[in-house]
Amino acid sequence: MATTNDRFLLGTRKGLFDVRRQGGAWALGEPRLPGQTIAFAVRDPRSSSVWASLDHGHWGAKLARSDDDGATFEKTAPPTYPEHTGASAKYYWVIEPGPADRPGHVWIGTDPGGLFRSEDGGATWSLDEALWALRKEHAWQGGGRGEAGIHSICFDPRDARHAYVGISCAGVLETKDDGASWSYVNKGLVNVFDPGSTTDYGHDPHCVVIAPSKPDVLWQANHCGVFKSADGAATWQNLTQKPWIDFGFTVAVHPTNHDRAWLVPLKSDEVRTTVDGRLAVARTDDGGATWDLFREGFPSPAYDFPFRHALDVGADGDTLALATTSGNLYVSEDGGVTWATVSTSLPPVYSVRFA
Amino acid sequence: MLTVRLTPHLKRFFPVPDEVQVDATTLPEMVQRLDDLWPGLGFYVVDERGALRENVAIWVDGARLLDRSRFGEPVRDGAVVHVMQALSGG
């Protein structure tokens, strides 16, 4: 979770950018790990270390970590699949530092669907076997990637043993016992792409976030619409309002107001560009009943959009950063109402995370 | 003994020379010897199952290894092995 408003990390196709607010402007600086594909980058506020997921393509997925707050990076041994799985890690999709009261606790979600956990700051990793067993039992299918992948990890700030993961395609799963067992929590979701699906699994959440100020509230941008839960994911409420509040990859929730959330609306599974060629941010202030569309500051037409990890909100709840598939970077300092262009010439951006 | 020529792309990650001699009779053994010399390099060429990565290309005496299921078969002593990245795009 963001602890600042004046610094965020961009994971891009050609390096990691450590973007800082300097005076009244945002400075990109020189890329770290230049030329390397950074699938995800996040700062661990407990240790001031910075994690980067590398996708080398030819040479496989790797991890790098900075122990001097982003100044220099070292390759670090990534999680590998145990032999009995027969699997190999293709992509480290999300890295989530654990709760404040569990220093060294870090989770990583991968394609092909494994959750890896470390209790020692990443020195050693272990596969969550209970979750992996469900993947095998229920034959999770791939989402945007070839195999099922874990892209969202939500820790409950009240209880370090309680967490959710979002998986394309399986859905949302919950553990109450620190990963020893998992339950599907997908009641109320819609699934139009899988005739064989059940209400339990087979869903395609694109991005799941938990409200820090009221952790029973979770928001979800799903392949089949927009959903919210107010009861700890026991049930999901369908908030879809076509055409704007429907398809999309990303969602962010205000750090202290669980009723305020932001989306970037896209047009349908079949089209996957902005609605009517107009980049917009949709914001609700009433828990998803009504939404305002904000476009001031965005170019028009615009067909590029943020991937699922490429929208984030700072600790103040007013500063947001959004970066796109075409390398455009925008920042808002008024809760998403107006947006300023920081760059139009970055490499494609995969992740945006406030430090 | 094999003569291994490594793509300069690996120099981004490891201080490898253009050419190195290793004592190996198969390609997996060759990867292990390279990993002994530059710890971690093996994981760039093969995955954790020991399979040749999909986009890594290997030539033995000028012939590309097209059938990846033959990765583990013996290689003649004295062979020249190229470890390259397969081209995938412009």
CATH number, span A7-354: 2.130.10.10
8 A C-beta contact, residue A299 and residue A314: no
ipTM of predicted assembly, 2 dp: 0.81
Residue to mutate among A13, A32, A59, A92, with most B CBs inside 10 A, is A59
Q: Cα separation of B23 and B5, whole Å?
A: 14
DSSP A67: S
A169 prior amide bond cis, ω within 30: yes
Chain A residues lying within 8 Å of B48, measured CB to CB: 80-81, 88-89
- Angle (CA) B53 B55 B59, round 5°: 90
Please write the tens of the pLDDT for every residue from B57-79: 999 999 999 898 899 999 999 99
Rounded CA-CA distance A62/A185 in Å is: 31
The answer to whether B53 contacts A58, with C-beta atoms less than 8 Å apart, is: yes
Is residue B73 classed as helix, strand or coil in its secondary structure? coil
User: Which residues share a beta bridge with A305?
Assistant: none
Specify the pLDDT at position A142: 81
| Spatial contact of A168 and A94, defined as CB atoms under 8 Å apart | no
B-chain residues near A85 (CB < 8 A) = none
Q: Distance, in angstroms, between A75 CA and closest chain B CA?
A: 9
Give Cα separations from B52 to A60, B40, B48 (angstroms).
10, 15, 10
- So where are chain A's domains? 7-354
The H-assigned helical ranges of chain A are 129-138, 268-271
Q: Sketch out chain B's domains with CATH numbers.
A: 2-85 (3.10.20.30)
Q: What is the pLDDT of residue A198?
A: 67
The helix or strand, by DSSP H or E, that contains position A237, with its residue range, turns out to be strand A237-238
**Which pLDDT value is given to residue A2?**
77
The answer to whether residues A126 and A101 touch, using CB atoms and an 8 Å cutoff, is: no
Q: Which of A107, A41, A354, A11 is nearest to A212 (CA)?
A: A354
- In order along its 355 residues, chain A shows pLDDT tens digits of 678 999 999 999 999 999 999 988 999 999 999 999 999 999 999 999 999 999 988 899 999 999 999 999 999 999 999 999 999 999 999 999 999 889 999 999 999 999 999 999 999 999 999 999 999 999 898 877 779 999 999 999 999 899 999 999 999 999 999 999 999 999 999 988 877 666 789 999 999 999 999 999 999 999 999 999 999 999 999 999 999 999 999 999 999 999 999 999 999 888 889 999 999 999 999 999 999 999 999 999 999 999 999 999 999 999 999 999 999 999 999 999 999 999 999 999 999 999 9
Residue in chain B closest to A59 (alpha carbons) equals B44
